[in-house]
Chains A and B, each alone.
Chain A
Amino acid sequence: MTVEQLAAMVIAACEQEGVEHMLTGAFAHGLYGIPRSTKDVDVVLSLIGANPFQRVTQRLSEIVEFEQQIQFDTLTWGKRQVGQSISNPPFKVELFELFDDPFVQAQFQRKRKMFSVQLQRDAWLPTPEDVVVQKLRWGRNKDLDDARDVLAVQGPETLDMTYIRNWCGIHGTLERLETALDGIPPLD
């Protein structure tokens, strides 16, 4: 199985269960920044309806083995459930709950639909501005590089920097934003 086949199956499972969803992680970064490989398919799930995590994991149970233990992100305390594809290669699937955090909610509401030839279906993805804000908030070295990549490839002049600065101000990450902008080499 390829990673795009797995991603398509995860999206199909969400659609079949009527669970609103959004691809995130390296797919979102690659869409707007500099493509890199990843180990996982990351998806945010809306929690509207009964037990969306359980329904989606159950729907995927023949292709993905999920850990029973739900985990919490120590930055935002959002929930995550991790699984691994049963067939090889062993790609990881990470399902994140859409929880009651103002930025996470805004990011999900602003998501965009795009058709992917590789996925052979529509996929919902965050805006580039939201990818930058999220990456700066997480703040690991890899995240900061990812934020800089999106800023560099998209160009700050094409992005809604007021929106980005507003959320960075709320998250206390304005310094990270300035560092990321300073890290863009001259392109002319």
Chain B
Amino acid sequence: MQDDIYREKILRARKSTPEQRLADVFELTNTVFARMHEGAMWQTGCTDKEEGWKIVRQRLSRLQKVHDLGRFVNQKPEKVHDC
């Protein structure tokens, strides 16, 4: 089932031009941010759009800390081994 869904995604992407795929990234991103905003407002009962965006910013900030943990540091060690 998962393979079938993935296969369909690949075939759909293959039918698109690079330009279309890049446009899809933009559209998906703008849509996801709008949904995050709606979700934050719905979940907190907030009616002020600016407040809704503040909640989204806080959530993204937390998410960034989780994603960056161990991957980015503020200081480079004195001796590092190249990859």
Contact = CB atoms under 8 A, between A and B. Distances in A.
Contacts, number: 122
Given A4-B26, A37-B31, A74-B70, A89 B18 contact: no
Contact of B83 (A38, A92, A140, A171): A171
A60 B31 CA distance: 24
Contacts of A149: 10, 13
A80 B10 contact: no
B11 A187 contact: yes
Nearest to A23: B22
A46 B32 CA distance: 31
Contacts of B60: 39, 84, 90, 92
A31 B10 contact: no
A55 B29 CA distance: 27
Contacts of A116: 19, 22
A30 interface: yes
Closest 8 pairs (CB-CB, A-B): A30-B25, A35-B24, A89-B33, A37-B32, A37-B28, A88-B53, A4-B26, A71-B72
